[in-house]
Structure 1
Amino acid sequence: MNETLLLPFQFPFMLNAFWIAAMVAVPTALLSCFLVLKGWALMGDAVSHAVLPGIVLAYVLGLPLILGAFAAGMVTALATGFLAQNSRVKQDTVMGVVFSGMFGLGIVIYVSIHTNVHLDHILFGNILGVGAEDLWTAGGISLLVSAALLLKWKDLMLQAFDPAQARASGLAVGLLHYGLLTLLSLTIVATLSATGLILAVGLLIAPGAIAFLLTRQFAHMLAIAVAVCLGAMLGGVYLSFFLDSAPAPTIILILSVLFIAAFLRRSRQIRRATSDVAAGE
């Protein structure tokens, strides 16, 4: 039994999958807390889809795919922020138009060129095929993003809750806004090998949403989100070996189950508190 349970750890490709899962879990979990607080769920979805044309163009030009993905992500994030601040159209509408347009552009460019690169690996990730270069890239980006978020989490929290108060306190609200968008683009680049473009949004939203249901203190929310995301990432990779399933969808399913469990727990607590108040009256 022990030999069977330890079997996944005997394969180098599984060890690499565990390593990259652990690396990207921390920045995605931390970032998800800020995205949930700011109501930027669609922003994560927008940027994750919109990097596709940058990846394809980078491949055509012979540039590193990470460079194209980051450039496209930044163009999308900055364009969305500019259009939302300088038009009557609401931000969610702007994001929907921009990310669908960028994703459509990426598909058109991809089908117009002849390449051996399979689109599935870009869209859904290839965590079992990561190599040393992917590990170094994901590790470097994860360390940078995590350090930035932990150093500035109080400023970012104030800017998320009350931008007017943050501005009155002397904080560079614009810098924090676009800095968070930059960190979002970098994080999506780090998750490309692990979950791909489509499923990356699950890592960027679910951990923060779960933690938000379990606590009302932001510091605790950050810690819970990291623990949840790390457990789901490692557990998803481990279970996928025995279930003969793709790791990325397995990870997202685990996060979905955890969210439902947290929601039911919170609902039960609210009903119990309401019953106690009614009984006291």
Structure 2
Amino acid sequence: MELLTEPMSYEFMRRALLVVTASGVAGALLSCWLVHMGWSLMGDAVSHAVLPGVVIAALTGIPFAVGALVAALIAVWLIGAVRESGTVRPDAAMGIVFTALFSLGLVLIARFPSQQDLHSILFGSVLGVRDSDLVQVLVVSAFTVIVLLAFRRDLILLAFDRLHAHTLGLRTRALTALLLATLATATVAGVQSVGVILVVATLIMPGATAQLVADTMRGTMALAVVVALIGGVTGLYLGYYADLPPGPVVVLTQAVIFAAAQLLAPRRGVIPRAVASARGRRSGMMAI
């Protein structure tokens, strides 16, 4: 029990736990849609594109979440504009926008150095979260979770059959825009805990892991949240006791959980499928 309670005796660890929990739940729920709809690259694009917004926020003293959110929304709009132009493929549009904005952020850091540490921007600074940062993360995470749960039925229909959703009278373009808005807010929440570079992992791995085990969208959402919470809390404790940066450890913990599911998932895991295949061949040989 002392191993569990000692870290929580420090206020910075309690704040870090709240940030990891809130951002983890928001990212986990969204990851179910990103993975199913094949939007993983979109998540990567938006997560990197928030860097200039974070840097400008640090330079001007405006709230961190405001700068990151504005940059994320601009990235989503630019990606949509380039895609709608029809001059390049959608994946190329995302690659062009996120590399350009990420490079802009690096240039701003080099040209206008501030007290904000580059390492904390890129890899997160969850142990240095202030009360104002905590409030911002909780607000944007709550918005993400509320929107995804309130519109989950429409968004599930959009994810599985966009044409059928349109036939039923759903405003598919508005739902897509809403989903992209939640991507922006979930990214803002995740950047504080794991940084600009690694936040894409928290937007993909929980959903990808859950899809290996669960058969329904509801089950996938619930399991993705469990994966995010286990990865976040375990990574935070491992980082504390091993004196390692918590952000990368959180991502590595989720990666280990994904690898275990990849190997051991009852129907889709590598080992169960290999065993079933071997049994099928054996039964066939016996029948012959």
TM-score (norm 2): 0.92
Q: 1:264 to 1:132 in 2, by over 3 A?
A: same
C-alpha distance in 2 between matches for 1:236 and 1:15: 14
The secondary structure found in structure 1 opposite 2:42 is helix
Q: Please tell me the residue identity of whatever aligns with 1:139.
A: L
Residue 119 of structure 2 is matched in structure 1 by 120
Higher alpha-carbon deviation: 197-206 or 264-273: 264-273
Q: 1:207 to 1:4 in 2, by over 3 A?
A: closer
Residue 178 of structure 1 is matched in structure 2 by 177
RMSD over aligned Cα, in angstroms? Answer: 1.5
1:82 equivalent in alignment to 2:85:
no
C-alpha distance in 1 between matches for 2:47 and 2:142: 20
C-alpha distance in 1 between matches for 2:57 and 2:240: 33
C-alpha distance in 1 between matches for 2:144 and 2:3: 36
C-alpha distance in 2 between matches for 1:262 and 1:171: 35
Q: Please tell me the residue identity of whatever aligns with 1:273.
A: A
Higher alpha-carbon deviation: 5-14 or 15-24: 5-14
C-alpha distance in 2 between matches for 1:186 and 1:252: 19
Residue 68 of structure 2 is matched in structure 1 by 69
C-alpha distance in 2 between matches for 1:160 and 1:3: 45
C-alpha distance in 2 between matches for 1:20 and 1:108: 29
8 A Cα contact 1:125 1:196, kept in partner = yes
Kindly state the Cα deviation for residue 151 of structure 1 after the two structures are TM-superposed: 1.4
CA displacement 1:87-135 (0-9 Å, x = unmatched): 1422211111110000001111221113221111111111111122122
Residue 274 of structure 1 is matched in structure 2 by 277
8 A Cα contact 2:141 2:186, kept in partner = yes
Residue 207 of structure 1 is matched in structure 2 by 206
Q: Please tell me the residue identity of whatever aligns with 2:94.
A: M
The secondary structure found in structure 1 opposite 2:204 is helix
Kindly state the Cα deviation for residue 276 of structure 1 after the two structures are TM-superposed: 4.1
The list of structure 1 runs, each at least 4 consecutive aligned residues, that deviate by more than 4 angstroms after superposition, is none
Q: Please tell me the residue identity of whatever aligns with 1:230.
A: L
Kindly state the Cα deviation for residue 154 of structure 1 after the two structures are TM-superposed: 1.9
8 A Cα contact 1:51 1:73, kept in partner = yes
1:21 equivalent in alignment to 2:20:
yes
CA displacement 1:156-202 (0-9 Å, x = unmatched): 12212221111111111111111111111111111222111111111
The secondary structure found in structure 1 opposite 2:88 is coil
CA displacement 1:183-232 (0-9 Å, x = unmatched): 11111111222111111111000000000111221110000000110111
Q: Please tell me the residue identity of whatever aligns with 2:136.
A: T
Q: Please tell me the residue identity of whatever aligns with 1:196.
A: G
Residue 48 of structure 1 is matched in structure 2 by 47
C-alpha distance in 2 between matches for 1:16 and 1:47: 25
Kindly state the Cα deviation for residue 280 of structure 1 after the two structures are TM-superposed: 4.6
CA displacement 1:72-97 (0-9 Å, x = unmatched): 10111121123223314222111111
TM-score (norm 1): 0.95
1:60 equivalent in alignment to 2:59:
yes
Q: 1:229 to 1:46 in 2, by over 3 A?
A: same
Kindly state the Cα deviation for residue 56 of structure 1 after the two structures are TM-superposed: 2.1
Structure 1: 5+ residue stretches without partners? none
